[in-house]
Structure 1
Amino acid sequence: MEKYSTIDLPTNGRTAAWNALYASRMSQVEFTPADKQGFGAELSIGTLGPVKLAKLSMDCYSVERSKLHINDNRPRIYSLLLQAKGSSVIHHCGHEANLDQGDFVLVDTGLPHFFDTKDFSTTIMVRVLPSLLREYLPTPEQFTGHRLGHAVGLAGTLGAMVESLSESVGAGIQRDHEERVARYLLEMISMSYTAGFDISEESAVLWRRRNDVISFIEDNLRDPELCCATIAKSLNLSPRYLRSIFSVSGEKISAFILRRRLEECARQMRNPAWNGHTLTEIAFSWGFNSAAHFTRCFRDQFGMAPREYRSAAVTASSTIRN
């Protein structure tokens, strides 16, 4: 089993060194710790036949995998995340999943995602190639970004299994048994999601197509002209079929685009790196072309004006650092 720690990294430039280390062993992402110099982190990685198990324990942080990171020519991976300790929130495929201890979320590394914690957190990742996962879960697109609660169906049993395997990989499992154990794990993942979600053949097809549309929307979210008509034209779909694809989620495309733009604006407003930019600059960079419209929509979404939201975020950030 491979093991890495920030103890071995220099204090100056520790964040950059950790990002480089993680990119070399896992996926290219950008970690932003609350304390960029003094944060502590540990990463252990093991293999179980065709499955990779990784355990990350780290002080308060956020991590983003953006379009820029995805263009690194590495194989696409599905990663099942178990919130083993602490709590977090992940934004992925247009969904927001609030995770408490024992909860799961499925992540497609071929699509952007943003993960944020408020305190010390331990996450265990089960990483699988899409071709293998589809043998057990034919349409994983249905589930990406959705929270699988620890009390739902077999999720609790799956959580105990994942935690146990993360400790025993490389120590307690004979190499000639790893393949079989990995298959049992994938079967348990399949049963947990089957028991936890309503699955139908028709909705599975729509969810797969919906993720293709979401990928296009995320790539063009900053374009002020982005709308149902331009998406349909770009993807060679009829507007009617495009609306039917989104009907499985109960959210209209226009509402989805607006919500995602507001979420990205709010995220930048919480990021101290953007303190030198005005609220209007942030809003316009995400496709808004009216400050009044942005303010009104932001208040409807978050229950407060953008200026109040940013002020509260700055106060919270100062409290965490102190």
Structure 2
Amino acid sequence: MNVFNTNDLTGRAAPGGWTGLFASQIEAMDFKPAKPDAFMAELAGSDLGPLHIARLTCGRTTIERGAAQIAHKTASTYLLMLQVRGEAEVSHYGNTATLGEGDFVLCDSAAPLKIRFSGDVETLILKVAASTLKEHLPSPEGFCGRALRADEGLTAAAAAMALNLFGRLEAGLSLHYQDRVARQLLDIVATAYALAFDTSNARSSVVSGRCAAVKLYIEHHLRDPELTPCAVAAGTKLSTRYLRMIFASENETVSAYILRRRLEQCARQIADPAWRGHSMTEIAFGWGFNSAPHFTRTFRDRFGLPPREYRRLKLEEEGGAFGARTRRAA
């Protein structure tokens, strides 16, 4: 078991050093802690047959994987995250999932990912090659970014097994059994997903996979102002008619999906203190809008407030939450 922590990283060098360390063990991601000078984290991990399993503990921070990191990706992998302690908000594949203790989420390393930890957390991460995962879960794309709740089906059993195996790795698990137990874990995770989602989803795995591929294409091109349903159809080599068909069960058109995702990304940046110095127009145009009045109108329709008022409210909430945490620490 390899254990890494920030004890040897001091001050504002810690987040940057930790980002490089995390990339060498899991995947390339940017760590943006709420308090860089006091950033503390630990990563303990080991291979388990075809898996790499690691436990991440850290304080309040935001983790992002974007186009720059994805561009250097060579092998296709998935990350299965189990929230052991604390809460996380995961934005991935056009979904936003709030995870509580015992919840899972599956993430595709080829797609943009944002994780927000609101406080001290402990998260178990299983990294697996796409080819290996698909032997157990044939269409993983259809589950990415969706929370697998602790109280659904076999989720609790999958979580207990994952934690038990990690504990045994810490104590020293014989190599003779590692491949076998890793695949048993993947089997129970796949069954948990099937029980939680497949029974309520009548679509074939082919259609689900194509819908996920379309969403992934949209995520990669969301900043392009020329992104339209016709452009998506051309880029994914599908007819516009078939594109409408695979989105029919989503209760959302392709155009509505693109607009929603752009608005959600704008809202996150508007609410982020790090983007305080950027104008609404700059943020909106950065996410593919080309009309400030259209952006303001659609933003108000979705969030109930104009962008400037939304920023003011969110920054006040952030300041109040920070003040409360400071008083508790004192």
TM class by shorter chain equals over 0.9
Shift of 1:272: 2.3
Residues in 2 aligned to 1:234 and 1:105: alpha-carbon distance in whole angstroms: 28
Secondary structure at the aligned position of 1:16 is classed as: helix
Residues in 1 aligned to 2:68 and 2:321: alpha-carbon distance in whole angstroms: 29
Q: Deviations for 1:279-304, whole angstroms, at most 9, x for unmatched residues?
A: 11111221212222212211222222
Aligned to 1:82: 82
Secondary structure at the aligned position of 1:288 is classed as: coil
Q: Deviations for 1:227-259, whole angstroms, at most 9, x for unmatched residues?
A: 111222233321110111222422211111011
**Which range moved further: 83-92 or 216-225?**
216-225
* Contact kept in structure 2, 1:104 and 1:147, CA below 8 Å: yes
**Structure 1 residue identity aligned to 2:2:** E
More helix as a share of residues: 2
**Structure 2 residue identity aligned to 1:34:** A
Cα pair distance change 1:188/1:39, threshold 3 Å: same
Secondary structure at the aligned position of 2:114 is classed as: strand
* Contact kept in structure 1, 2:111 and 2:220, CA below 8 Å: no
Shift of 1:166: 1.8
* Contact kept in structure 2, 1:35 and 1:321, CA below 8 Å: no
Aligned to 2:310: 309
Cα pair distance change 1:111/1:212, threshold 3 Å: same
Shift of 1:72: 1.5
* Contact kept in structure 2, 1:203 and 1:248, CA below 8 Å: no
* Contact kept in structure 2, 1:94 and 1:214, CA below 8 Å: yes
Shift of 1:74: 3.3
* Contact kept in structure 1, 2:91 and 2:145, CA below 8 Å: yes
Aligned to 2:123: 123
Aligned to 2:7: 7
**Structure 2 residue identity aligned to 1:113:** L
**Structure 1 residue identity aligned to 2:165:** L
Secondary structure at the aligned position of 1:63 is classed as: strand
**5 Å matches for 1:13-162?**
13-162=13-162
Cα pair distance change 1:319/1:3, threshold 3 Å: farther
Q: How many residues align?
A: 322
* Contact kept in structure 1, 2:42 and 2:57, CA below 8 Å: yes
Shift of 1:204: 1.1
Residues in 2 aligned to 1:308 and 1:85: alpha-carbon distance in whole angstroms: 34
* Contact kept in structure 2, 1:15 and 1:32, CA below 8 Å: yes
Residues in 1 aligned to 2:315 and 2:130: alpha-carbon distance in whole angstroms: 40
Residues in 1 aligned to 2:189 and 2:105: alpha-carbon distance in whole angstroms: 11
Residues in 1 aligned to 2:24 and 2:280: alpha-carbon distance in whole angstroms: 36
Structure 2 spans left out of the alignment, 5+ residues: 324-330
Structure 1 spans left out of the alignment, 5+ residues: none
Identity percentage of aligned residues: 41
Shift of 1:88: 1.2
Secondary structure at the aligned position of 1:37 is classed as: helix
TM-score (norm 1): 0.95
* Contact kept in structure 1, 2:90 and 2:116, CA below 8 Å: yes
Residues in 2 aligned to 1:145 and 1:174: alpha-carbon distance in whole angstroms: 33
Matched, 1:164 2:164: yes
Cα pair distance change 1:151/1:279, threshold 3 Å: same
Matched, 1:239 2:230: no
**5 Å matches for 1:166-315?**
166-198=166-198, 202-315=203-316
**Structure 2 residue identity aligned to 1:175:** L
* Contact kept in structure 1, 2:112 and 2:220, CA below 8 Å: no
Aligned to 2:326: none
CA RMSD of aligned residues (A): 1.6
Secondary structure at the aligned position of 1:47 is classed as: strand
Shift of 1:170: 4.2
Residues in 2 aligned to 1:203 and 1:37: alpha-carbon distance in whole angstroms: 50
**Structure 2 residue identity aligned to 1:296:** R
**Which range moved further: 208-217 or 134-143?**
208-217
**Structure 1 residue identity aligned to 2:116:** D
